[in-house]
Amino acid sequence: MEPFSCDTFVALPPATVANRIIFGKNSDRLCDEVQEVVYFPAAVHDNLGEHLKCTYIEIDQVPETYAVVLSRPAWLWGAEMGANEHGVCIGNEAVWGREEVCDEEALLGMDLVRLGLERADTAEKALNVIVDLLEKYGQGGNCSEGRMAFSYHNSFLIADRNEAWILETAGKYWAAEKVQEGVRNISNQLSITTKIDREHPDMRTYAKQKGWWDGKKEFDFAAAYSYLDTAKMMTSSGRYCEGYKLLNKHKGNITFETMMEILRDKPSGINMEGEFLTTASMVSILPQDSSLPCIHFFTGTPDPERSVFKPFIFVPHISQLLDTSSPTFELEDLVKKKSHFKPDRRHPLYQKHQQALEVVNNNEEKAKIMLDYMRKLEKELFRQMESILQNKHLDVDKIVNLFPQCTKDEIQIYQSNVSDHMVS
């Protein structure tokens, strides 16, 4: 099992039902790392002399940023995955190849996810934002909190209501592939081969200089920049191939629920267990009809099989997501100073989820009852969301509190299981 092994998926018509683009991602990280779900409203930044502090470095701010909802490791500034008010979704993956990874602190791939969402109202504009920042500031720095030093390059899957882009990087070099129909996924390997729609201007020259490409045969990005045999890429037993098979199995009938099933799949390794596990999951519905809202589901807890996908819809004056926001510490600088102190970052939902799982872990019957309640809650939420999409009607007053209310309902399920256990 590769560490930090995420999987990101997109399905577009005609692979999906009802003219929707469906985005999904599992974030696989160290098993004790807490992931929070947080919302940041749109903002105007008048004082452009002020710098923006990302996880490790400061960069130039822009005049305006869009509202975003993010699923992120609670210790850092960026995000593993998220969406913005314009229906742009981004997920990133760790990738390695021939180009050496820089240990120096720069922008993390997760910072680039958030920056792309805050600064772009289409998928391709987000790609532009990311590659411009990559050129200006570079990527690098430790991607885990505490003792373990871990750095990598990044690939990104960026989607909006109309199309998706795969962006894969090696240091400052990159290639991008446009996806306009069907299915596509990324895992922890370069996957862009000969279909390259955009690229770093020096990407081929650099590969030639390094002796990775002879300049004669058709240029293959993954073959040149990594050690992959791209001819065997789709037949190996890795998660990239397994994910592709699962998408293809449902091609033509993919719904948001299909995407959740794929993220919950354990035999493929996509729903990861062990020292590195699926710490959070996200699925988004991006209707091609712009009169319909985009709906983004987040778990905010580990193991999607034993979590609830809760919906979030962008409307003005969203209630703060308190139950999925981790405590903040005056000691944040300790992270930057490589301190071995690790604060308790568990948010209320994470704590209740953990307590309930400890109670039911040794009791199959209790586990089944609790899971039934969780699935019932989820099914009711799915029914309500489907109704919004069918009837084209949003009760904005309710939607303001949608995600926080769903989280409270989920916590209620966990609390009643823990209290039942104490009584018995």
Tell me whether residue 31 is one of the annotated catalytic residues: no
From CA 103, how far away is CA 90, in angstroms rounded?
Answer: 24
Neighbour-count burial for 222-240, b at 16+ CB within 10 Å, e otherwise: bbbbbebebeebeeeebbb
Query: Alpha helices of 156-217 — where are they, by DSSP H?
Result: 203-209
Nearest-angstrom CA–CA distance, 161 and 236: 32
**Among candidate residues 114, 191, 197, the one with its CA nearest the CA of residue 163:** 197
The active-site residue, picked from 6, 54, 89, 294, is 6
Q: Report the range of poorest mean pLDDT among 11-25, 55-69, 111-125, 329-343.
A: 329-343
Q: What pTM, to 2 d.p., does this model score?
A: 0.95
Q: What angle do CA 218, 221, 223 make, to 5 degrees?
A: 85
Mean pLDDT calculated for residue range 126-153: 89
- Asked if 310 and 324 touch (Cβ cutoff 8 Å), the reply is no
Summarize pLDDT for 157-185 with one digit per residue, the tens.
999 999 999 999 999 999 999 999 999 99
Q: What pLDDT is recorded for position 231? A: 74
Q: How many CB atoms lie within 10 A of CB 331?
A: 11
Is 148's pLDDT higher than 80?
no
- Per-residue pLDDT of 178-204, as tens digits, reads 999 999 999 999 999 999 999 999 999
Average pLDDT on 2-10 reads 79
Task: Assess contact for 299 and 310: CB atoms under 8 A.
Answer: yes
The pLDDT tens digits of the residues spanning 222-244 come to 999 998 777 777 766 689 999 99
Which of 136, 170, 164, 130 is closest to 152 using CA atoms?
A: 170
Q: What pLDDT, on a 0 to 100 scale, did the predictor assign at position 187?
A: 93
% of the chain surpassing 90 pLDDT: 80
Instruction: Specify the 3-state DSSP secondary structure of 355.
Output: helix
Cα 273 to Cα 95, 263, 267, 278: the distances in Å are 20, 13, 11, 7
Q: How many CB atoms lie within 10 A of CB 245?
A: 12
Please give the average per-residue pLDDT across 325-339, as a whole number: 66
pLDDT in tens, 241-291: 999 999 999 999 999 999 999 999 999 999 999 888 999 999 999 999 999
Would you state the pLDDT for residue 341? Answer: 67
Higher pLDDT, 348 or 6: 348
Digit-coded pLDDT (tens) for 85-131: 999 999 999 998 998 888 789 999 999 999 999 999 999 999 999 99
Q: For residue 144, is pLDDT > 60?
A: yes
Mean per-residue pLDDT for 342-362? 92
Domains of the chain by range and CATH?
7-321 (3.60.60.10), 348-420 (no CATH)
Report how far residue 156's alpha carbon sits from residue 94's, in angstroms, rounded to the nearest whole number: 9
Contact 108, 143 (CB under 8 A): yes
